[in-house]
Structures are given as structure tokens and as C-alpha cells.
Structure 1
């Protein structure tokens, strides 16, 4: 059985994720109490339910501790099951905007002086959960459709992957992706943006990639990145981790970082035999002038 525990900051998209998982065949349970999880999973096994997604809300650190203890017990008692803890997050500004748009109250608003204070309190409560999460998804720059597609790209396969690599291309002017485990800076590579014929394209185009990787420094850097990631993926897997987020940044996130992300995907999938998901966060933000 594959078991997904879905939690995270309120307003970051847990409901959307749960509905998306239901669409691809998971049995969803929203806000299940920690005390009911063990018995529910035993019943699910007896009913031959192969994929379950359980959404969790934590009101205090005591409940968090109970869940983390239970998670260890489940890993011991259900060794034939795949157990993933998925943490949803978004920037404070994004969450505040969403609550303002929906005019809904934050679940911790009764013990907080404002929505901002409620978000701060929830982050404190969930800190230990976030630190041990197997998969982290930052929905700051995603709409509902993009978040649904992200979920399907990670969990849509019938056969679970042992390890995922998420590669973000981004522009430094828009900020580094919050969930990054490692960041590579490619701003020193020559920039196609200054070529009038290439400026209108992005880094997914062959013409742009050919221009970038004609540079020996670009080829050497790509090879170094690949070798480092190949080494780290094996170390992460031995530590029992399931997911790594690699971010590659250039100035605007349109040309160089996109090209490097695409090439890295090809190399990692070929040599490390893991699933790689690429997201070009800022590719369409820069105006073409």
C-alpha cells in the first residue's frame, strides 16, 4: 500500500492536493485525527485499498509529536508499504493574499491576533514536521491548475519511484525558490539575451541551448553539476530521503537557467535512473522587447 500524509501551512493548497490525488486513484481522507490513523490503515489494508492520501491539521506541538511517533511505528509495522510525508508551503504574502481573496478565517485565528500572527504560530507548530518531510511543495507561484499538474507529475505513476528530483529554473531577480536543497548560479555563462536573434526564444529551444553550450565553460559546469548531483542522489537515497529539489538560476530565468535545467534532466535520468520533474518558474515573466 502507498500511504501519503498531506500536511503543511494552511492556505498552501492541501485541499487541492487531496482532490488531485483522488482524481488519480487515491482514497482520500480529510483532516483525519492522529488517533484514528493506525486503525484506519489496517482497515484499508483488509479492504485491499492500495493507495490512500490522508490530510492532517495540527493545532499544537503535542499532536505533532504524537504523529511523528506514529509515523515511526508505521514504518516498523508496515514495512511493505510506501509511506511519504508531503509538506505544502507558500510564502506569507501568498497565503495572506489567498485568505483575503477567499475571505476565510485561518484555522488558528482564534488564538492569534491577526492572520499574519496565525501563520507565524502555525509555522512554529509545524517546524519539526517540515524538517522531516519526504516531499516539499512550494505553491507560492502556482495557480490551482499548476498545483494539480505538479501532484499528478509526482504521484501519477502506478509504480512509485524510490527517489524524485525536482529541478527549478528561476531568475534571481524574482527570488530563490524557497524549497531548494541546492542552488546553482549560471549568471557567469554568456547570455543569449544579448543576441537579437535569440532573445525572443527561451532556453527550451535548440538554438538557445546550442549557443549556450558552445561555450566550454558552460559544458564544464554542466558536467560538474551532473557529477555532484549523481554523488548526492546516492547519498540521499542511502539516508532514506525520497526527494531533492535543485534550483538553477540566471538573471531573469528565461534562457540560461532553463537550458541548464533541461540538460540536467536528460543527464540525471540517463545516469542516475531516477524520476526528474522540471519546472521553469520564471520562463515567461521576462518581456521580450
Structure 2
């Protein structure tokens, strides 16, 4: 049986994640107290509910604080069970974005009781869930994701053709909008020649041939590509050997439009011949697309 534990900060998209998995055939339970995970697993594996092969449960900061602190030990026990594969997915979002989301929707944060200010409730929730986020197999930063983008990313990463191989995400971003919170490795490529200063290239992106030709004319760009490629070739097998299921590699330039986009796309093309599940995401380009459609 495959069990996915979905957790994360309130307002980060946990309900969207569970709904997406349910649409894909998972048996889903939301807001399950952490202390009930073990009895549920026992029932699913040995009882009359053993018909379910794919299960997802959502847990959040409303669980008992003692049970949340004991989550790492619970996870170790679950992973020792025969016939059970467990993955932990944690959704996180920048605090300022969460503040804006709660203000716009007028929803109450589940921990903002007894007059606790929203910013303190968010900090408290991060503290309570740290034992889960620290042990997460997959971290997803939803700061710059809309509803459709999150659903697509979840399907790409959690429902690959080869569920046993490494899922590699190469994403570009702009440092001016912050570093993605879900990065396992971050490479800064701002030292490379910037097409932004070429008027004919400014409105284009790293996926356009004109920009690619401009960057490929630079020896430094080629050396940067080779250095990152060689680093990943050297170390990805080591993570795979430790049964690592997910890896997120982020490449950042100033605006996330040219240099990082080009390198993320080129690296994804290279590793698709070597790794079964490779995805590429251009954070700022998706953000621009979303703004232009509104």
C-alpha cells in the first residue's frame, strides 16, 4: 500500500493537494489527528479496508502537540512495516504571502484563537509542524503557484510513470522575487552575461533561440552548464542510492527570465536521457503568464 502524508501551513494548498490525489484515485482523509495514523494503517493493511492500495491523509497543526512532536518516531515505525510505502509531502508558503491570502479571503487561521495575532499564529504553526517538514520527502513552495499550477506540479511529481525512480525538478527563478523555499540545491547564475541589456532580447526568454544563441556564445555560460551538470551527475546517484524519491534543483538569475530559464531548460533536456522522471518549471514565466491572463 502506498501512503502519502500531506501536511503544510494553513493557506498553502493542502486541500488542493488532497483533492488532486482523490481525483487520481487515492482514498483520502483530511484533518486526521496524528495519533490515529497508526490505527488507520493497521485497519487498511489487515482489516476489511485492505482493498485500498493508494491512500492519502492530511494532518495539520490542529493535532495534539505531543503527537506532532512524536511524528518522526511514528514515521520510522510506519516505514518498518511490510507492505507499506510512506511518503511525506509538505506544502509551505512565504509568511507575507500567507498574511495576504488570509486577509483577502477573510478566513480565520486555525490557531488564531484567544486573540492571537495572525503573524504569531503562522509562526506558531511553523514551529508545531517542524517535525513533519524536517522529515518531508517532498517540499513544495506554493508562494508563486496558482491553483492550476499546484495541481499540475502535484501530478508531475507524485504520479510519475516510474513510481520507484527519482523525480527531478529543475526550476528557474528570479532572486528579486526570493529563493524558492522547496529547493534542495540552489545555483546562482547572475555572474553570466545578461541578455536583459540587449534591447532586441529584453522581451524574450531563455526558451527563445535568439537568447540561447547569445548565451551559447559565452564560454562562461558553457562552463557554468558543465559545472552544474557534472555536480548533479556525480551526486544524484548517491541520493538515489539512499532511496531519495524527490530532488529539486533551483537556478536563479536576477529576473528569472533569461539565464536561469536557459540553463534549467538545457539541464532538463540533458537529464531526460538519464533519469526517468524529469520536470522543468520556470517560476517567473508562469507568474507572468498568470498575471497576463487576469
Instruction: State the TM-score, normalizing by the size of structure 1.
Output: 0.91
Question: Counterparts in 2 of 1:13-162, with a 5 A limit?
Answer: 13-45=13-45, 46-59=49-62, 60-78=64-82, 80-110=83-113, 113-157=116-160, 159-162=162-165
| Of 281, 284, 287, the match for 2:283 | 281
Segments of 5+ residues of structure 2 without an aligned counterpart are: none
Indicate how the Cα distance of structure 1 residues 254 and 233 shifts in structure 2: closer, same or farther if over 3 A, else same. Answer: same
* 1:203-234: CA deviation from partner (whole Å, max 9, x where unpaired): 11223222212222211210110110122212
Give, in whole Å, the separation in 2 of the partners of 1:61 and 1:230: 41
Give, in whole Å, the separation in 2 of the partners of 1:260 and 1:158: 25
Give, in whole Å, the separation in 2 of the partners of 1:44 and 1:92: 36
* 1:15-64: CA deviation from partner (whole Å, max 9, x where unpaired): 11110111112111101122332332343345321211110023454111
| Of 198, 204, 209, the match for 2:207 | 204
* 1:62-120: CA deviation from partner (whole Å, max 9, x where unpaired): 11133322211111113x43211001100111111111122121111125621111111
Give, in whole Å, the separation in 1 of the partners of 2:124 and 2:99: 14
Give, in whole Å, the separation in 2 of the partners of 1:81 and 1:195: 55
Give, in whole Å, the separation in 1 of the partners of 2:238 and 2:33: 35
Question: Secondary structure in 1 aligned to 2:144?
Answer: coil
Give, in whole Å, the separation in 2 of the partners of 1:158 and 1:185: 31
Segments of 5+ residues of structure 1 without an aligned counterpart are: none
Is structure 2 residue 178 aligned with structure 1 residue 172?
A: no
Greater shift after overlay, 59-68 or 215-224? 59-68
User: Are the aligned partners of 2:160 and 2:277 in contact in 1 as well (CA < 8 Å)?
Assistant: no
Question: Secondary structure in 2 aligned to 1:282?
Answer: helix
Question: Secondary structure in 2 aligned to 1:187?
Answer: coil
Q: Shift of the alpha carbon at 1:163?
A: 1.9
Greater shift after overlay, 224-233 or 178-187? 178-187
* Alignment RMSD (CA, Å): 2.1
User: Are the aligned partners of 1:61 and 1:126 in contact in 2 as well (CA < 8 Å)?
Assistant: no
Give, in whole Å, the separation in 2 of the partners of 1:39 and 1:128: 20
Question: Secondary structure in 2 aligned to 1:6?
Answer: strand
Q: Shift of the alpha carbon at 1:259?
A: 0.4
Question: Secondary structure in 2 aligned to 1:141?
Answer: coil
User: Are the aligned partners of 2:71 and 2:132 in contact in 1 as well (CA < 8 Å)?
Assistant: no
Question: Secondary structure in 2 aligned to 1:231?
Answer: helix
Aligned residue pair count: 285
